[in-house]
Amino acid sequence: DGGITQSPKYLFRKEGQNVTLSCEQNLNHDAMYWYRQDPGQGLRLIYYSQIVNDFQKGDIAEGYSVSREKKESFPLTVTSAQKNPTAFYLCATDRDYSNQPQHFGDGTRLSIL
Amino acid sequence: AQSVTQLGSHVSVSEGALVLLRCNYSSSVPPYLFWYVQYPNQGLQLLLKYTSAATLVKGINGFEAEFKKSETSFHLTKPSAHMSDAAEYFCAVRRGNQAGTALIFGKGTTLSVSS
């Protein structure tokens, strides 16, 4: 089945540690996105990528980094500079047309130890 | 700039009652609008989308939404609520009409359904 796989489902970070969230897709979509979800805040854009080897900052990129070395993969690293990393992280993809919906993975819940 | 406002962070209805979830948008270009549903600890599932083809849009699970340009609204409705409709609902608008642009989301409305 085509879809988006996020792993792990739950992740714990220690003080001063970097952690990486995985997002893999087999939908052959060009664009990929990372959103952060906090209770009562909706979803906020962290980073997005329209093509391989290119990505742009979203609204809340500070303390995060990404790479896009393959079309299928868009990992997100939460660095130690992100002082409030506890949230639900969602990866999304879409085709290269603005009237098409985004498809979402099942998310990764990150907590601080 | 585009923005989305969802009126009411929490809506409660009885099973069988009408569901109305409100969404107002602001957009400097003809908007592409979406409604998504989220169940606990899951990703978002598309309910329906508006892409200017028709003002009344039908989606999955009996939901529909009407685009009203004069009111800048895109409210979500369902004639008869079911217990399984209890979830969080998000309205979203594309940031622009270029390819590969991200969505702007409202803060969400939690729908509770009582028997």
Q: What token pair was written down for B95?
A: 């940031």
Q: What is the pLDDT of residue B39?
A: 94
Looking at beta carbons, which residues of chain B come within 8 Å of A88?
41
Q: How confident is the model at residue A97 (pLDDT cuts 50, 70, 90)?
A: low
Name the residue with tokens 């406002």: B5
Contacts of B84 (CB under 8 A, 6+ apart): none
- Residue type at B83? M
Q: Kindly report, residue by residue over A34-68, the tens digit of the pLDDT.
A: 999 998 889 999 999 999 999 999 999 999 999 99
More confident residue, A3 or B28: A3
pLDDT tens, position by position, A68-81? 999 999 999 999 98
- Least Cα separation, residue A109 to chain B (angstroms): 8
Judged by a CB distance cut-off of 8 A, whether residue A60 touches chain B is no
pLDDT band at A22 (very low <50, low <70, confident <90, very high): very high
Q: Which positions ≥6 away from B108 have C-beta within 8 Å?
A: A40, A42, B6, B9, B38, B88, B89, B90
Give the pairing type, strands B64-68 and B109-114: unpaired
Q: What is the mean pLDDT of chain A?
A: 92
Q: Is B97 touching A (CB cutoff 8 A)?
A: yes
User: What pLDDT is attached to residue B99?
Assistant: 54
Q: Count contacts between A and B (CB, < 8 Å).
A: 69
Query: How many residues are there in chain B?
Result: 115
CB contact under 8 A, B49 and A50: no
Cβ-based contacts of B102 with chain A (< 8 Å): 33, 45, 48, 58
Contact between B43 and A41 using a beta-carbon 8 Å cutoff: no
Q: Which residues contact B77 (CB under 8 A, 6 or more apart)?
A: B18, B19, B20, B21, B63, B64, B65, B66
Tell me how close the Cα of B51 comes to any Cα of chain A, in angstroms: 6
Q: Average pLDDT of B21-50?
A: 92
Contact B105 A43 (CB under 8 A): yes
Confidence class for position B96, pLDDT limits 50, 70, 90: confident
B2 contacts in chain A (CB < 8 Å): none
By three-state DSSP, how is residue A96 classified? Answer: coil
Closest residue on chain B to A105 (Cα): B43
| Whether the Cβ atoms of residue A91 and residue A110 lie closer than 8 Å to each other | no
Q: What is the pLDDT of residue A1?
A: 59
Amino acid at A9: K
**Cross-chain CB nearest to B102 (options A33, A103, A109):** A33
The span from the CA of B39 to the CA of A57, in Å, is 28
Mean pLDDT of B95-113: 84
Residue type, B95: R
B31 touches chain A (CB under 8 A): no
